[in-house]
Chain A
Amino acid sequence: TQLLEQSPQFLSIQEGENLTVYCNSSSVFSSLQWYRQEPGEGPVLLVTVVTGGEVKKLKRLTFQFGDARKDSSLHITAAQPGDTGLYLCAGSTLSTNAGKSTFGDGTTLTVKP
């Protein structure tokens, strides 16, 4: 079983601060996805990264895939209360686990106004 460890588990910050959350594994992934989940809702995809070293930006969110494709980070600039939610990473590998995605346990982010 591929394990994805996310850190920190909980993060509470003030509006306007920057933050980074991490997703680490000992496995190499073909692709890695980041999702955001709001209370009472299902996760919604933010981004998919597939190339080692890839950086993708989505407004104030910056996603990076590690060179070895074993880890990823999500950086939020000038966080806003609307960024509050559970951030999940999910990785898949075509060669193992039949390509199914494995989810991390998530980082719960609270942005206070």
Chain B
Amino acid sequence: NAGVTQTPKFQVLKTGQSMTLQCAQDMNHEYMSWYRQDPGMGLRLIHYSVGAGITDQGEVPNGYNVSRSTTEDFPLRLLSAAPSQTSVYFCASSYYVGGEAFFGQGTRLTVV
């Protein structure tokens, strides 16, 4: 089972560049979410989706966009990268909101 697949695993961007982090799950989960993980700050919720066509903001949404056109895919877009967005990004899915979360392996992003 693939579970949750994130690409790329590593990325370096220049300030101002845009990019999309990909996330796909094959478990037919309705709930998907994006987190960023910074040293000493745990996992902070960026955006989430409770099903195809439905997205909402988490704790730290500024500078990020999401869409959910299918149940399987939940891409995260950085509109204009800033050094403050240097972080490790995790995508997760679960059967329901607040349920067991299955995480991808993460994308380590550096903005220079």
Seen from chain A, the residues whose Cβ lies within 8 Å of a Cβ on chain B are 1, 9, 30-31, 33, 35, 40-45, 48, 88, 90, 92-94, 98-101, 103-106
Closest 8 CB pairs of A and B: A42-B103, A92-B98, A105-B42, A99-B97, A103-B43, A99-B98, A103-B42, A45-B100
**Set of chain A residues within 8 Å of B4, measured between Cβ atoms:** 42
CB nearest to B38 among chain A residues: A105
Within the assembled complex, what's the spacing in Å between the Cα atoms of A100 and B4?
19
Within the assembled complex, what's the spacing in Å between the Cα atoms of A93 and B103?
20
Q: Which among A1, A33, A42, A101 has the highest number of chain B CB atoms within 10 Å?
A: A42
- A100 contacts B100, CB within 8 Å? no
Within the assembled complex, what's the spacing in Å between the Cα atoms of A10 and B45?
23
- B101 contacts A101, CB within 8 Å? yes
- A100 contacts B98, CB within 8 Å? yes
A-contact bits for B86-104, CB 8 A (1 contact / 0 none): 0000101000111011111
Within the assembled complex, what's the spacing in Å between the Cα atoms of A100 and B48?
9
**Set of chain A residues within 8 Å of B106, measured between Cβ atoms:** 40-42
User: 20 A-B residue contacts at CB 8 Å?
Assistant: A30-B98, A40-B105, A41-B105, A42-B90, A42-B103, A42-B104, A42-B105, A42-B106, A43-B101, A45-B102, A48-B100, A90-B43, A90-B101, A92-B98, A93-B98, A100-B33, A100-B45, A100-B58, A103-B42, A103-B44
**Set of chain B residues within 8 Å of A106, measured between Cβ atoms:** 42
A-contact bits for B39-70, CB 8 A (1 contact / 0 none): 01111110010000000101100000000000
Within the assembled complex, what's the spacing in Å between the Cα atoms of A106 and B39?
10
**Set of chain A residues within 8 Å of B35, measured between Cβ atoms:** 103
- B40 contacts A105, CB within 8 Å? yes
